Amino acid sequence: MVRRVRTAVFPVAGLGTRFLPATKAMPKEMLTVVDRPVIQYAVDEAREAGIEHFVFVTGRNKGVIEDHFDRQFELESTLEARGKTKALEELRRDLPRAGQTSFTRQQEPLGLGHAVWCARDLVGREPFALLLPDMIFQAKTGVLKQMMDAYEETGGNIIAVEEVDPQAVSSYGIVARGEGPDHGFSITGMVEKPKPEDAPSNLIISGRYILQPEIFMLLSEQTVGAGGEIQITDAMRHLMDLQHFTGVKYSGRSFDCGSKIGFLTANVAFALDRPDISEDFMAELRTMTEELPISIEA
Ligand code: G1P
């Protein structure tokens, strides 16, 4: 029997410089896709996969994330008084239960590997999920749930992957694929942000991991890697000498909300998937795209 994954870590300390000035005073994780903050999508995905402890690694100016995952009594009683029961139910549904959230601070922006290491005492000696909230997904079964299914079979460490255009590999961690089917194959190597000519494949690490606690030991010894930062990919490569890594080519579609195009595309895709607004929004999009060539000529 594999050890159950109860805890998920959400690194949310990043400065969000690609979204300035929007992120000057507001965390990038609170930017909205339709009407939900980006971080909520990752938390919902974790809860669907059975996670019971939500650990956020935050930094300065991120206090509003903590507030978002708390009750707001004034708002709740106003909604109640106005009979807005659906909105009230939804607010309560989105919230982890009392005692299920923990927050720690990274203090210095030393890289993703360092952010994860900051969660070591909150995670303890248990396997845990790691979700990078910039990546959100449209998938019939949540991506972390798909990974949990693979984990039940294989145990060890699991990484969600997807194919990208070979020219895009230098923005991501890349894995080398060994034996096995799409829903659970052996990973034989990995490298962070390689040049296209050095990449072992075009399979990117999609920001979802299930990791064994031994990763913390390796992270505590980790030196800087790509971009002058402490990288989780480098620590995982070392852990590969001791433990098995399985890749899951998940079913679904990803949106990299860390980039402007990914973020805007996510807004369009999730709006078109919302029964309450999709029809009207589609009509607006049609009008805009029909008008587009005219306004360019003008
Ligand atoms: C991080 C990881 C990278 C992964 C990517 C997914 O990079 O280091 O391996 O592919 O997230 O979004 P970052 O986007 O933080 O540069």
- Per the CB < 8 A criterion, the answer to whether 119 and 57 are in contact is yes
Residues, the chain: 298
Q: Which band of pLDDT confidence, cut at 50, 70 and 90, is reported for residue 242?
A: very high
Considering the entire predicted model, what is its pTM? 0.94
Q: What is the mean pLDDT of residues 187-194?
A: 96
Q: Which band of pLDDT confidence, cut at 50, 70 and 90, is reported for residue 132?
A: very high
The alpha carbon of residue 70 and the mean position of all alpha carbons in its chain are separated, in whole angstroms, by 20
User: What pLDDT, on a 0 to 100 scale, did the predictor assign at position 291?
Assistant: 78
| Dihedral of the alpha carbons of 136, 142, 145, 146, in degrees to the nearest 10 | -100
Please state, in angstroms and as integers, the Cα–Cα distance from residue 70 to each residue in 44, 76, 150, 153, following that order: 15, 12, 33, 36
Average pLDDT of the residues of the chain: 94
pLDDT at 60 over 90: no
Choose the weakest-confidence range: 8-17, 34-43, 44-53: 8-17
Instruction: Evaluate the omega torsion of the peptide bond into residue 21 and state whether it is cis, within 30 degrees of 0.
Output: yes
Cα(207) to centroid of ligand 1, in Å? 6
Distance CA 120, CA 170 (A): 29
Q: Which band of pLDDT confidence, cut at 50, 70 and 90, is reported for residue 298?
A: very low
Rounded to whole angstroms, the maximal C-alpha distance in the chain is 67
- φ/ψ of 11, rounded to 5, equals -75, 115
Q: Judge if the beta carbon of residue 116 lies within 6 A of ligand 1.
A: no
- Per the CB < 8 A criterion, the answer to whether 119 and 104 are in contact is yes
Cα(68) to centroid of ligand 1, in Å? 25
What is the number of the ligand 1 atom nearest to the C-alpha of 232? Answer: 8
Q: What is the mean pLDDT of residues 30-52?
A: 97
Tokens of 76: 């709740």
Distance CA 183, CA 105 (A): 35
- φ/ψ of 129, rounded to 5, equals -95, 150
pLDDT at 239 over 80: yes
Percent of the chain with pLDDT over 70: 98
What the chain holds in terms of domains, given with CATH numbers, is 7-258 (3.90.550.10)
Cα(173) to centroid of ligand 1, in Å? 6
- Per the CB < 8 A criterion, the answer to whether 56 and 10 are in contact is yes
Q: Judge if the beta carbon of residue 16 lies within 6 A of ligand 1.
A: no
User: What pLDDT, on a 0 to 100 scale, did the predictor assign at position 297?
Assistant: 53
Cα–Cα nearest to 6, from 91, 99, 104: 99
Please state, in angstroms and as integers, the Cα–Cα distance from residue 86 to each residue in 45, 90, 91, 173, following that order: 21, 6, 9, 41
pLDDT at 200 over 50: yes
Q: Judge if the beta carbon of residue 111 lies within 6 A of ligand 1.
A: no
Q: Could you tell which of 130, 132, 222 is best to mutate to test the pocket of ligand 1, judged by most ligand atoms within 8 Å of the CB?
A: 132
Distance CA 295, CA 298 (A): 5
Cα–Cα nearest to 217, from 229, 241, 235, 231: 235
| DSSP per-residue string spanning 209-257 | EEE-THHHHHHHTPPP-GGGS--HHHHHHHHTTTS-EEEEE-SSEEEET
Q: Judge if the beta carbon of residue 254 lies within 6 A of ligand 1.
A: no
Q: Which residue has the tokens 């433990």?
A: 243
Instruction: Supply the residue whose CA is at minimum distance from atom 15 of ligand 1.
Output: 112
Cα(174) to centroid of ligand 1, in Å? 10
Cα dihedral sign for 167, 109, 216, 213? negative
Burial 13-23 (b: 16+ CB within 10 A, else e): bbebeebeeeb
The alpha carbon of residue 295 and the mean position of all alpha carbons in its chain are separated, in whole angstroms, by 37
